[in-house]
Each structure stands twice: as C-alpha cells, then as structure tokens.
Chain A
Amino acid sequence: MTWHSLADEPLWYKDAVIYELPIKSFFDSNGDGIGDLPGLIEKLDYVHSLGVTCLWLLPFFPSPLRDDGYDIADYRAVHPSYGSVDDFQKLVNAAHERGLRVLIELVLNHTSDQHAWFQRAQRAPATSPDRDFYVWSDSDQKYPDARIAFVDTESSNWAWDPLAQAYYWHRFFHHQPDLNYDNPAVIQEMLGVMDFWLEMGVDGFRLDAVPYLVEREGTTCENLPETHAVLKAIRRHIDRRWPNRLLLAEANQPPEEVRAYFGEADECHMAYHFPVMPRLFLALHLEERDPIVEAIANTPAIPDTCQWALFLRNHDELTLEMVSDYERDYMYLAFGALPQARLNVGIRRRLAPLMNNSRRRIELLMSVLLSFPGTPIIYYGDEIGMGDDLQLGDRNGIRTPMHWTGDRNAGFSRAEPSQLYSPVITDPVFGCQAVNVEAEEREPASLLHWMRNMIRLRRLFKVFGRGGIEFLNPANRKILAYVRRHQADVVLCVANLSRSVQPVELDLTAFAGWVPVEMLGYTEFPPITRAPYFLAVGPYGFYWFELQHPA
C-alpha cells in the first residue's frame, strides 16, 4: 500500500528534504551519453528510497550550455538532449505519485545571448520595446560600483554588441545578458513562463541570482528596493493563482541582506543560508564550535512561514564569499591545498574529497545538516560519497555522471565512453568501481544506508524543520550542543568536532527529571538531574536525544 498523495500542506517545504540533481548527470536512457528525463524517471524509485521529499532539478531548458544550462535560450521548452515537454510532464506525474515534489530553476536575471528575445533586441531600434528587454548603454562606465562575479573570466559587467552598436549589461558571463526588470513587459513574460511550468504541476522555483535583477547608478546594483518590488509582484501572482507553491531565493549575501528576500512573508518562502556552510567545514577543521555558533547567532529572525535552505555541497564551488579574509585564507590552506581546486572565490570539490573520505567526518557534517534549523539539501552522489575530477574545467569536476554500478560508464550510460558528456571518476579511491549505488545497496553498513536511515529519522520529527534552536555552552569547545524545540518535541543534539573522544558536561537543569532517549537506537539514558549531565562522545561522534518529559 502507498499513501503517497501530496498533502495539502502550505508549509510542506519546512519538513522537506531536498535532493539536487542535474538531469544530464543522473541516468542516460537512450545511450547518447547524456542523462535525460526518461532516465531520471527510471531512477525515481531510487530517489524515493532515499527518503527525500523534493527534487531540485538544475536547468534543463534549451541552451548553448556555456554555463551548464544557466544560459537559457528558451524558457518554455526542454533541451532536446534531455527529452521533451511531454517527458517532463511524465516526470512530474511520476514524482508526485511517489510523494516527491519537484522544484525547478527559474533564471530570472539573465538569458543566453542565443535567446530569441536577445537576438530580437540586438536588431531592434534603440528605443523600441524589443530593445528594452535588456539593459543597454552607450558607455561601459555605468554602474561602476557593481562587483564582477566571475573574476577569473570576466573583466567588466558590460560587453559591446556590434549588431546593436551598444553595450549590454551582464552580471555574470558576457554571453548572459541581463534582462531589464524596469520593463513591465519582462515581468509579464516571466510570470507567463512560471504559469507554463506551474500548470504542469511543478511545486516551486529556485530563483537564480535574485539580488541582481535591477540596476541603479551609485549602488552596487545588489539587493535594491526595486528588485524586492519585482519579487513581491511574483509572490503576489503565485499566491493568487498557485497556492502551496514555493519560491526559493538564491542570494549569495550575508544573512542580514538575505533576510530582506523573505520580506514580511511576501517575497520568497525560502532562501539559502550561505555563511553556515563554509563555517561548518571551518569548525570541523579547527575542532571548535565557535564558527558555527557565531554564524547562527548572526542570523536574523525570519517570518514564521519562511525557512532557510541548508546545504553542505552543491553544483557550485564551496563559496567563501561570506567568510572573513582570515577564514578564507584558512579554508584555502585547509581544504584547497591543490591550486586546481580553487575557483573564483571558493573551492570546487565534493563533500567526500573535502573530508579526505573520512566516513565519520562525513556522517558528522550530515548529522549537523539534518538537525540544524532549516531544510536540508543533498547534492546527488554525496549520499554514496562520490568524488570529483579536478582535471575538468570550471565546476564540471563536481558534475560528473552518477555512479550506479562498477561497470562501464559507472552504469550511467550504454554509450561509448568517449561519447559521455563528461568522463566518469576513475581514480582508485573515488572511482566508480569503489563507490557506486549497487555496491552500497548490498553493503549493510554503507554510507547510502546510513543516509537513508538518518533522512527517515529526521522526517519523523517535525522539530527539525520547524523548531527553534538554543545552543548550550559547555566548557569543552570541541563539543557542539544544541536543543531544538517545537511544540511538545524537544531534541538535544551533541556533536564532537574533534578526532578524539571528548568528555562534556551539559547544563540541562531546565530539563531536570526528563529522560534523554537516544534517537537512533531508542536507548534510554539516565534521567537528567540538576547536576551537570555528563557524556563522553567518540571521535567525530554525535548523539540525537529525544528528551522525554516524565509522564
């Protein structure tokens, strides 16, 4: 029996566990070397078996693929390599049948220079409505305070267009011209695009690069009030026509700036918490909790219906923009020792290589991800401990084919290896013969089974997605301890950030008389008294305790 019908729950995203994947990397059903929608449908049972509740699909639209699909040439179609709109509809239906929601990308800020809108704008008269879809200038000196995102490849945010005989604004790559959100027709077009996909049943959009929608002289062109006005208009449209659908903001900004993207619960439902992620890695390397505690302490409160999105790794580099200069230098030394691992302002590595393939350290970070306030996002392949390939350019080394088996092409495709969109990982430690789904399915103690259990355990307790957090302050700074509370549920989490066993005394006097029950094994620990509560935590160990009130 399956009772998988998607509940009519407006706050579903608070209880969600999101699985991020690029369609091209997941499974190739037709043997052309590129993953596709029918392939993903074939593997949906695997995704469902992980216990995750929502898919986040990276861009799958027609595109010249000069920025891995974030350069969109047509918002209302599917890239032919991945399938068709009909295939996408089948995917949404199949996902919903399994109780999985579907989140897709909406790149609001820019299009590809191959998009019909841009090609029309290039040829249109200077003051025409068609030209007005993008941001043009006779000079490349406007908006000088705007920073350049991809410093490794771009020297200016302006590019000269010989056809238009004008400069166009691009906040990212020069082949990605920014749309002009001062033009109401652009907003109308984008709302139409959203309706197109919402009509097919998608459950929400990840709004890419939202801080940069509008430009104004004398500003950094980030987080402007006019940008927020655009997002509010989008939210009004969603609320009016599409209840229970989600807007997730990608705003790589400090939390106090990101806070504005929630508005008064009238902009985005969710936004990424960028500073937490690098500080988790930092704290683990420093073997002390302060970087994590500070990151959360500096996080502003958000409206009750809003939620942070948390992640350890994703399809981009481990960005270090949101840490101090000192912390960035430390992180490069600690995790980016190989020069080729560095990209832009970050480190382009997957989770397992960053952790030197230490199972205990991976589990520790995952336990924090799954128990911190917010909705966790798991990047495809991290559930089996996949590695990366630093020989591949840009961020392609962390977007390699999924390892299904130890066979040819990692079981990802029947194509000739030379035809694959990307080589599979073959090194002795992380190669597909060492790390793959088939082997981990058969190995009871594998990371894959561990992940499944942990995800399912998290889902049993709404406190993880909805509760508040209070940090404890034990003298041993190698111990991270916090209490999560939601209604009657109280959970105590204790993590040892160091490589050696650690003693800790916790002040739990507020819970005197309560009984901690270790959540994985459902083991009762001694009752809490007014005395300090003593625990010994193994190397990189962690506990989740359900605090049971004396009945």
Chain B
Amino acid sequence: MASTGLSSSTPPDVAPAKGAAVVVGIASHDDEATIGTVARHVSEGLYPHRSAGCIVIADGGSTDRTLQRAYEAVAGACAVVTAPYERSAFEPLRSPYHGLPGRAAAIRAVLRTARDRDAKACAFVDARVTSLAPEWLPRLIEPVFDHGYDYVSPYYVRHPHEGAITKSIIYPMFRALYGLRIRQPAAGEFGCSTRLIPHLLDQGFWDGEEAETGIDLWLASAAAAGGFRVCEAVLGCRTHASRAETPDLSTTFAQVVGALFADLEARAETWQRVRGSMAVPAFGLPPAGGMSPPPVDAESMLDAFRLGFRALRDVWAWIVLPRVILELKRLAEAPAEQFRLDDDLWAQIVYDFALAYRARSMPREHLLGALTPLYLGWLAAFVMGTSGWNQKDIDDRVEQLCVAFETKKPYLISGWRWPERFRA
C-alpha cells in the first residue's frame, strides 16, 4: 500500500510487505486532536503482537496533521502504513451523518490491506474514540487468535437508558433474524479473522448509497448470515468526539433502523430459515462503577407519541393492521401511569414497518419518520417501567422483549411471503 498524504516531517511507512499477523485499522479524517492517543493506545494494546502487527491509518485525505500525529504517537513501536480512501461526495439531499465520511470505504481499505498482508486477524477502530484503552485491542483480537472466532462484536457498557434504539429494535430483531444474541450488532469497532475478510469484501453492500450509515450493522449480519463464529468483546464505555453536529433523533433513527430493514431485503433467503437463537460468548468484564444516567424525559416522549397518533394515524393505518391502530388509540388516550406498550404489539409494529419498507408502501424516509413517534412511545413506557431497576433486571426485561420478537417471527415471514395488502 502506497503512503500518501504525509507531510515531509512524517516518517515513511514502516511495514513488512507480507505476513503481518495482526492488522489494526484506524479510520481518520482531520482527527489530529484525537488520533495520537488512539494510535498510541492501539500500539500499546498490540504489545504481544507488535513484531508482526501493523497499524493501517485509513485516511480520507486529512488536511491537518492527522497522519503526522499518528506516526509520532506510535514512534516506531510497530509498523504503520497509510491506506487512503475516497470520502463520499457531498449529497445535498442526503440526511446528515455525524460519523466518518466514507466510513464504508475506510473499512474496505483496511480489510483489503489485511487481506493483502495475509493478516491472521484484523481489528478496526475510529480515530475519534476518546475512551479507547489499550486493553480493547486484545479483547478484539484474542478471540480470533486464541479461540478461533471469526467476528468479534464489541459490547459497550451503557446506562440502561442509553442505546435505546438498539435495545428496542436492532438487538431483538437482529437476534430473531439471524439467531445470534449479539447485543450491539451496529457497534463501531470490530475484530475479524482472515477467513471472514474475503467474505466481507465479497458482499454487495460496499458501494450502496446507505453504506456509510449501514456498514457496521451489515458487517455483523454478513458474519452471522454466513455461518461464521461470532463472539462479543466487552470494551467498557464508548465516548467519541463528534465530527459534525449530532443529527436529530429522527435522522439517526431512520439511518440505523433503515440499515436493518434494508438488510432484511438482501438476506431474505437466509433469515427465513433461522429458528430460535443462541447466546454468543462474551470476552472481558465490564468496568466497575456506576454510570451517570442520561437526561430522559418520559413525559415529553409520551407527548410526542400522542402527537404522532393525532398527526400520523392515517399514515400508520397504511402500514399496520386495524386492531393495532385501535390499540394505539387506547394507548394515546391512556394516562402516563397506565401507559404500557405490550412487547408482542411492539414486535408486530416493527415487523409491519419492515414489511412496508420492503413493499415501498410509501417513500422510505417518510416511513421511517412515521415509526419515530411509536419508538418514543415504546421508550417512554420502557423508562417509566424500569425506573430504578438494576442492570440485571434491565437485561431480563430486554430478554423478554427479544423473546417476543422471536415468537412473532413467523408473522414477519408470512407477511413477507404473502403481504397483507395482497390478501385475496
């Protein structure tokens, strides 16, 4: 891989041409403030593999001192190369994205470098992760080296009320679809084996319009659907310096859930054959100590749901069954203390929206927008219903929800094969 974009004071690439046992990709673009710490921690975390390790800076054409900072931080402790990638072009009509522009291209550049160097394991991290610690690396890599896993999905420790899109939809549905209990399948970092790399590179999703926002989830689904061995690595908390203004909830929600719905379409042949689910092993322990709760205002979320019901009821009626509308009507009229959104009902609503997404019943951005108030209703019920609970109780609650998604899966399959609107 040629070195490009380095200032004259940056040392040239130092890397064996072949045979790097471990390749760790750091995706960057104008990240001079954070990449030094990330690169140093990666280098320290690679300690047992340093002699055969290689850090790949996947850079989208930084105009600041990003690359120089990275090389200085590693200071020759292990090999470093640069893998430039094309950042996605500005699309005025596309929803704002606060992550790394061209993220899919960055991941692909790292995987290609790993493949070309015959790496036995590969990990990928973001240059803006401020909480990255050296121990993240062995947790992402050693399950591959020591235990023969192909895909290592990170499990970040979060406050029970954080990561609610994942808890409410992504995890339960991913698990029901692919039969693997990966709790955060759309997480930002990952580790993978040499066996998985060509499989990932062969996927058809890299150049799609939504690859930037969907790629993390699609990597996990490619591994799960491909029958690869999957495990989790407990990495502690994840904090990062945002590259742009954080988009509103509706945009983030549409990006994350849209990626999952799109995945359904691409892998229907696989997920419709999966029954039940199984746990995946988790390596590492969560850090001790409590976490400060995020500010959550259940009442305002309930208001958003009620407003949504008034404004979007006719839209929802295109998507869900009449009895679901009647149930939502009852909920919209219920006082806060009686507001409970049944798990079966929630699973059915999510599946109905997934079916409508596939059937293109309406423009997809509108469809996902219409799901947002329903999600806020679910979240309000979840927050109110779990107030004061400990982590174990929360986990049990999420497990209950996941079982509902699994139990309802035949509904999704039958709706997929014989859509309700084609009822003869």
Q: Which residues of B contact A7 (CB under 8 A)?
A: 204
Across the two chains, which residue of chain A brings its CB closest to B423?
A: A444
Q: Which residues of A contact B268 (CB under 8 A)?
A: 460
Q: Tell me the complex Cα distance, A190–B286, Å.
A: 69
Known: A460-B269, A460-B272. A3 touches B205 (CB 8 A): yes
Q: Which of A222-230, A337-345, A519-527 is the interface stretch?
A: A519-527
A16 to chain B, nearest CB (A): 14
Partner among A4, A445, A459, A461 whose Cβ is within 8 Å of the Cβ of B423: A445
Q: Which residues of B contact A444 (CB under 8 A)?
A: 421-424
B416 to chain A, nearest CB (A): 8
Contact (Cβ within 8 A) B208 A2: yes
Q: Which residues of B contact A449 (CB under 8 A)?
A: 422
Q: Tell me the complex Cα distance, A445–B423, Å.
A: 6
Q: Which residues of B contact A461 (CB under 8 A)?
A: 269
Does A501 touch B at the CB level, under 8 Å?
A: no
Contact (Cβ within 8 A) A1 B276: no
Contact (Cβ within 8 A) A1 B423: no
Known: A5-B204, A453-B419. A523 touches B414 (CB 8 A): yes
Across the two chains, which residue of chain A brings its CB closest to B276?
A: A551
Contact (Cβ within 8 A) B418 A3: no
Partner among A1, A5, A548 whose Cβ is within 8 Å of the Cβ of B262: A1
Q: Which of A3, A459, A462, A548 has most B Cβ within 10 Å? A: A3
Does A237 touch B at the CB level, under 8 Å?
A: no
Known: A522-B413, A551-B275. A453 touches B422 (CB 8 A): yes
Contact (Cβ within 8 A) A453 B418: yes
Contact (Cβ within 8 A) A4 B422: no
Sort chain A's interface into a size bin: 20 to 34
Q: Which residues of B contact A445 (CB under 8 A)?
A: 422-424
Q: Which residues of B contact A453 (CB under 8 A)?
A: 417-419, 422
B410 to chain A, nearest CB (A): 5
Q: Which residues of A contact B275 (CB under 8 A)?
A: 548, 551
Tell me the B202-219 residues at the A interface (CB within 8 Å).
203-205, 208-210, 214
CB-based A-B contact count at 8 angstroms? 58
Q: Which residues of B contact A2 (CB under 8 A)?
A: 208
Q: Which residues of B contact A241 (CB under 8 A)?
A: none
Q: Which residues of B contact A457 (CB under 8 A)?
A: 417
B268 to chain A, nearest CB (A): 6
Tell me the A441-462 residues at the B interface (CB within 8 Å).
444-445, 449-450, 453, 456-457, 459-462
Q: Which residues of B contact A524 (CB under 8 A)?
A: 410
Q: Which residues of A contact B424 (CB under 8 A)?
A: 444-445, 450
Does B334 touch A at the CB level, under 8 Å?
A: no
Q: Which residues of B contact A4 (CB under 8 A)?
A: 204
Contact (Cβ within 8 A) B205 A522: no
Q: Which residues of A contact B421 (CB under 8 A)?
A: 444
Known: A5-B204, A460-B272. A521 touches B418 (CB 8 A): yes
Does B266 touch A at the CB level, under 8 Å?
A: yes
Q: Which residues of B contact A5 (CB under 8 A)?
A: 204
Known: A1-B209, A1-B210, A3-B204. A522 touches B423 (CB 8 A): no
B-side interface residues, number (CB < 8 Å): 26
Q: Which residues of B contact A3 (CB under 8 A)?
A: 203-205, 208, 265-266
A540 to chain B, nearest CB (A): 14
Q: Which residues of A contact B205 (CB under 8 A)?
A: 1, 3
B274 to chain A, nearest CB (A): 11
Q: Which residues of A contact B266 (CB under 8 A)?
A: 1, 3
Q: Which residues of A contact B265 (CB under 8 A)?
A: 1, 3
Q: Tell me the complex Cα distance, A489–B269, Å.
A: 12
Q: Tell me the complex Cα distance, A462–B265, Å.
A: 17
A297 to chain B, nearest CB (A): 31
Contact (Cβ within 8 A) B417 A456: yes
Tell me the B247-264 residues at the A interface (CB within 8 Å).
262
Contact (Cβ within 8 A) A1 B208: yes
Tell me the B390-419 residues at the A interface (CB within 8 Å).
410, 413-414, 417-419
Q: Which of A521, A522, A523 has most B Cβ within 10 Å? A: A522
Q: Which residues of A contact B210 (CB under 8 A)?
A: 1
Q: Tell me the complex Cα distance, A457–B419, Å.
A: 12
Please, what's the 1-or-0 string for A1-35, where 1 marks a CB less than 8 Å from any CB in chain B? 11111010000000000000000000000000000
Across the two chains, which residue of chain A brings its CB closest to B214?
A: A1
Q: Which residues of B contact A521 (CB under 8 A)?
A: 414, 417-418
Please, what's the 1-or-0 string for B270-282, where 1 marks a CB less than 8 Å from any CB in chain A? 0011011000000
Q: Which residues of B contact A450 (CB under 8 A)?
A: 422, 424
A30 to chain B, nearest CB (A): 30
Q: Tell me the complex Cα distance, A4–B265, Å.
A: 11
B319 to chain A, nearest CB (A): 15
Q: Which residues of A contact B272 (CB under 8 A)?
A: 460
Tell me the B150-209 residues at the A interface (CB within 8 Å).
203-205, 208-209
Q: Tell me the complex Cα distance, A1–B218, Å.
A: 12
Across the two chains, which residue of chain B brings its CB closest to A488?
A: B273
Q: Tell me the complex Cα distance, A301–B244, Å.
A: 63
Q: Tell me the complex Cα distance, A2–B414, Å.
A: 23
Known: A1-B210, A460-B269, A460-B272. A522 touches B414 (CB 8 A): yes
Q: Tell me the complex Cα distance, A521–B204, Å.
A: 30
B357 to chain A, nearest CB (A): 10
Q: Tell me the complex Cα distance, A453–B421, Å.
A: 12
B96 to chain A, nearest CB (A): 18
A3 to chain B, nearest CB (A): 4
B137 to chain A, nearest CB (A): 32
Tell me the A503-551 residues at the B interface (CB within 8 Å).
519-524, 548, 551
Known: A445-B422, A520-B418. 5 other contacts (CB 8 A): A1-B214, A3-B203, A3-B204, A520-B414, A523-B414
Provide 29 A-B residue pairs closer than 8 Å at the C-beta atoms, listed in order of the A residue. Answer: A1-B208, A1-B214, A1-B265, A1-B266, A3-B203, A3-B204, A3-B205, A3-B208, A3-B265, A5-B204, A7-B204, A444-B421, A444-B423, A445-B424, A450-B422, A450-B424, A453-B422, A456-B417, A460-B269, A460-B417, A462-B269, A519-B417, A521-B414, A521-B417, A522-B410, A522-B414, A522-B417, A548-B275, A551-B275
Interface residues of B (CB under 8 A from A): 203-205, 208-210, 214, 262, 265-266, 268-269, 272-273, 275-276, 410, 413-414, 417-419, 421-424
Q: Which 10 A-B pairs have the closest CB atoms?
A: A445-B424, A522-B414, A3-B204, A1-B262, A522-B413, A5-B204, A3-B266, A1-B208, A449-B422, A1-B210
